[in-house]
Structure 1
């Protein structure tokens, strides 16, 4: 089972995404900010970091860059409602996927599924 670390500061969105991904067979650990995600990345293995870009304390791009230093094999997908932020993410983390809000949960799950189907990818569970 693939393990996803979700960093999303909006509680309703965080709960909504967690439920959708868990229903699709993923193990999800959810936190409300990037600074809460880093210690988890250091302590556990995750297959995907799914992070909002605009968050307090540490934005998703900085989180992804720091996570990449700790766990270089972990994949990254950004979610954001800001077009300009999407462009910044694409420049700073070109290997990451960016999903713009609003999106349907089905689209999110399909993107996550596609990400795991690409190439050889080992599961941690």
Structure 2
């Protein structure tokens, strides 16, 4: 079981993803924006940051960068329809972050989370 911080600005998608991860045995704390998620990261330990890239206030790449500074051992996975942005050499995304491109099946998400946590 992993303790996951999920950040996704689409409320319905966020709840859908959280439920799937919880059913797979993970503990999920969810936020709709990067700024609120960052405040939580400063207060609590998580095993995985699972974040969308395009969000208001603070995007997922900035959130991931700040999160990695707080906890270099934190695993990071982006869920996005804009994978090229995360993979761009110019992006400030942590180099070892995983990218899961939308659309994806929930079993793919759970499988990738499980792989990351096993590594």
Alignment TM-score > 0.5, same fold: yes
Per-residue deviation, residues 30-49 of structure 1 (Å, max 9, x unmatched) = 00000001111111000000
Aligned partner of 2:38 in structure 1 is: 38
RMSD: 1.5
TM-score (structure 1 length as normaliser): 0.89
- The count of corresponding residues between Structure 1 and Structure 2 is 118
Aligned partner of 1:3 in structure 2 is: 3
Q: Distance in 1 between matches of 2:44 and 2:83?
A: 32
Q: Distance in 2 between matches of 1:90 and 1:100?
A: 19
Q: Distance in 2 between matches of 1:21 and 1:58?
A: 24
- Equivalent residues of 1:61, 1:89 under 8 A apart: no
Structure 1 ranges of 4+ moved more than 2 A: 86-93
Per-residue deviation, residues 9-53 of structure 1 (Å, max 9, x unmatched) = 000110000000000000000000000011111110000000000
Aligned partner of 1:79 in structure 2 is: 79
TM-score (structure 2 length as normaliser): 0.93
